[in-house]
């Protein structure tokens, strides 16, 4: 039996486990570099943790959707910065 967590956590393969230990989302990181995948996953987790703390009664699917949409600008900026550096 998996114990409950206080926040969203990262698992291998871009999987994010929710605070109840059961709800999960997968960030599609298959075709990214390890650095980009880590940056994107961390941005999504930070957004989810921030959103979860503010509105705990909102269904997790809604929080995930809103958090990912909010994180997209910083994710895209990071990818563009990486492309500009030629990595």
Q: 2-13, pLDDT tens digit by residue?
A: 444 567 777 777
Q: Where are the domains of the chain?
A: 9-85
Which pLDDT score is estimated for 5?
Answer: 56
Q: What pLDDT, on the 0 to 100 scale, is given for residue 78?
A: 65
What confidence score (pLDDT) does residue 59 get? 67
> Which residues, given as ranges, of the chain have pLDDT below 70?
1-6, 22-24, 52-61, 63, 78-87
Q: Which of 23, 22, 21, 15 is nearest to 44 (CA)?
A: 15
Q: What is the pLDDT of residue 53?
A: 65
In whole angstroms, what is the distance from residue 56 CA to residue 75 CA?
25
pLDDT computed for residue 54 by the predictor: 47
pTM of the model as a whole: 0.49
Q: What is the rounded CA–CA span in Å between residue 38 and residue 60?
A: 22
pLDDT recorded at residue 80: 62
């Amino acid at each position: 039996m998996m114990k409950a967590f206080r926040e969203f956590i990262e698992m291998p393969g871009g999987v994010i486990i929710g605070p109840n230990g059961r709800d999960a989302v997968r960030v599609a990181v298959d075709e990214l570099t390890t650095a980009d995948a880590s940056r994107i996953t961390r941005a999504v987790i930070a957004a989810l943790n921030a959103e979860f703390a503010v509105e705990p009664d909102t269904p997790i699917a809604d929080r995930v959707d809103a958090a990912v949409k909010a994180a997209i600008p910083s994710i895209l900026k990071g990818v563009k910065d990486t492309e500009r550096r030629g990595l």
